[in-house]
Amino acid sequence: MIFWRANNSLLKTTTRTLDLHGLTVRQAMDKFVECANECVSSGKRVRVEVIHGWGSSGSGGAILRELRRFVQRHSDCFESVVEGEGLGNPGVTIVYPKRVLPRALAGHGNEAENAICEYCRTPKSLQKIESKLQGKFRAAEIRAAVRALVAKSRLREVRCEGKVLYEAA
């Protein structure tokens, strides 16, 4: 369930609430990436209150742990992150998205595509991509995944000094 409301602040921040209760971890992460990307695409400063719950174990649920690991791994995509413990509610995480997250990071696509998107957070040549991932995937599989990612607009070609580089979109 997603709700929108406008805050009365000088920064014109909009608050969006994303409730992940009742979802699997994968579904929750897919929803989170979709929500964060919509916020960035809106062009507005958006505060996302992610309600993931605390978990029945009493030590934090699977969604909470995965969300926080994910946000930490991709901290460059967020203006700031506030964990709910400091607010008196450990079942909430507040994020301010500032950069679009590649959809592959939430489990879309195959393993090779995910690895390529993760590695290409900064522009890389096809040769560097193949070199980095050669132990995990065959060269033909890597080239096919790069073509598929470009076709899906999840990877973009960047021309630099006559070379083609690839960067996660």
Cβ contact 84:52 at 8 Å: no
Domains in the chain, please, with CATH?
Answer: 2-97 (3.30.1370.110), 103-168 (1.10.10.10)
pTM of the model: 0.58
String of DSSP letters for 67-79: HHHHHHHTGGGEE
Please write the tens of the pLDDT for every residue from 70-80. Answer: 888 888 889 88
Please write the tens of the pLDDT for every residue from 24-61. Answer: 888 888 899 989 989 998 888 899 999 998 876 666 68
Higher pLDDT, 7 or 72: 72
Q: What is the pLDDT of residue 11?
A: 54
Looking at the chain, the whole-number percentage of residues with pLDDT higher than 90 is: 33
Please write the tens of the pLDDT for every residue from 118-151. Answer: 899 899 999 999 999 988 888 888 998 999 889 8
Take residue 5 and report the two structure tokens written for it.
Answer: 């409301």
Measured CA to CA in angstroms, residue 93 lies from 23, 85, 135, 163 at distances of 16, 9, 37, 41
